Structure 1
């Protein structure tokens, strides 16, 4: 499945800044950063459930927001990039 994950973490204190870094690391472990707070992820249902559980355990649900969009298969290949955007290699292995 293809997912677009976006997040907005409250960084008005050091604890929020730590959460922001942790959310980014979680997403970097499974997908490709396409903007500062947006990741494209290709995964299985099991991997999605693990991702959601890790994110939920990290964020403060009263201050932070994570949105996960389930996209149709092939959406990433049909995406148009304008400006300095690069096309992530979704078909290849994810190197961490």
Structure 2
């Protein structure tokens, strides 16, 4: 499944800045950053559940928020790009 993860973490304190880094790090483990607080993730249902639980453990539920947008398997027909595209297609082969 293809999931768009967006978040808003309060960063006025050092704890908030730490939470922000931890959320970004976890999202990077499952997908690619496409904007500052937006990640595209191609994950299985089990991987999504794992990511969701990790993020729930990190955030402060009274100050921070996370949104998940489920684009499904036909996501390429639901995503439109305008301007510079700096991300890669997660379905293509990746050569390192």
Q: What's the TM-score once normalised by structure 1's chain length?
A: 0.89
Match in the other structure for 2:8: 8
CA change 1:20–1:37 in 2 (3 A) is: same
| Structure 2 unaligned residues grouped into runs of 5+ | none
| Structure 1 unaligned residues grouped into runs of 5+ | none
Q: CA deviation at 1:52?
A: 0.5
Q: CA deviation at 1:91?
A: 1.1
Match in the other structure for 2:71: 71
Measured on the aligned residues, the alpha-carbon RMSD in Å equals: 1.7
Match in the other structure for 2:56: 56
Indicate if the aligned counterparts of 1:81 and 1:87 stay in contact, CA closer than 8 A.
no
Match in the other structure for 1:90: 90
Q: What's the TM-score once normalised by structure 2's chain length?
A: 0.89
Q: CA deviation at 1:34?
A: 0.6
Q: Matched residue pairs, number?
A: 94
Indicate if the aligned counterparts of 1:31 and 1:94 stay in contact, CA closer than 8 A.
no
Structure 1 distance, partners of 2:24, 2:94, is 15
Q: CA deviation at 1:40?
A: 0.5
Stretches of 4+ moved more than 6 A in 1?
none
Q: CA deviation at 1:70?
A: 1.1
Secondary structure in 1 matching 2:30? coil
Q: What are the superposed Cα offsets for residues 46-70 of structure 1, whole Å, 9 maximum, x if unpaired?
A: 1011000000000000000000111
